[in-house]
């Protein structure tokens, strides 16, 4: 198979994720764009498992390249990234919901990081 196709798909998804993170105002939509970026990285990891494993076949395993000489490390990394993304979404949504409960808005460019005094006043 031609691994250029999934690599380019992963690069395009990462670009779309960056675009979404920079463009969106709603915090939940920014989280969705971050999910797109993480999935692009997952796809690139799995594809690298296909392509680089076959390229490294026959290379004697040195200490730093020992995991690469076995099959499946890219998939394991992708699993780890999926778990990390789940944890990130949990904490991120907790932050967003708490912020919404305090300010009744989730627009990111209205967040004032120095608004502590104002909150005590109001």
Residues 5-44, interacting with another protein (CB under 8 A): 5-20, 22-26, 28-29, 31-33, 35-36, 39, 42-44
Q: Residues 103 to 122: which contact another protein by CB under 8 A?
A: 106-107, 109, 119-120
Query: Minimal distance in Å, beta carbon 22 to another protein?
Result: 4
Query: Minimal distance in Å, beta carbon 63 to another protein?
Result: 13
- Token digits of residue 16: 């779309």
Query: Of the two residues 11 and 59, which places its CB atom closer to another protein in the complex?
Result: 11
Query: Of the two residues 31 and 60, which places its CB atom closer to another protein in the complex?
Result: 31
Name which position in 59, 61, 70, 111 contacts another protein (CB under 8 A): 70
For residues 79 to 98, the per-residue mask of contacts with another protein, x marking binding by CB under 8 A and - elsewhere, is xx-xxxxxxxxxx-xxxxxx
Query: Of the two residues 59 and 84, which places its CB atom closer to another protein in the complex?
Result: 84
Classify 122 as helix, strand or coil.
Answer: coil
- Token digits of residue 39: 């999935």
Between the CA of residue 12 and those of 6, 48, 79, 100, 117, what are the distances in Å?
10, 16, 21, 32, 43
Long-range own/partner contacts, residues 79-84 (CB < 8 A, 24 or more apart): 81/38, 81/41, 81/42, 81/45, 82/42, 84/38
Separation of alpha carbons 8 and 22, rounded Å: 21
Name which position in 59, 71, 111, 115 contacts another protein (CB under 8 A): 71
């Amino acid at each position: 198979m031609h691994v250029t196709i999934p690599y380019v798909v992963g690069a395009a998804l990462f670009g779309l994720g960056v675009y979404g993170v920079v463009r969106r105002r709603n915090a939940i939509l920014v989280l969705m764009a971050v999910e797109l970026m993480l999935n692009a990285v997952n796809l690139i990891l799995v594809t690298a498992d296909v392509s680089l494993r076959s390229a490294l076949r026959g290379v004697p395993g040195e200490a730093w390249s020992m995991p690469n000489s076995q099959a499946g490390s890219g998939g394991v990394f992708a699993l780890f990234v999926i778990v990390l993304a789940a944890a990130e979404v949990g904490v991120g949504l907790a932050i967003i919901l708490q912020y919404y409960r305090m300010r009744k808005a989730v627009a990111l460019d209205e967040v004032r990081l120095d608004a502590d005094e104002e909150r005590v006043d109001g």
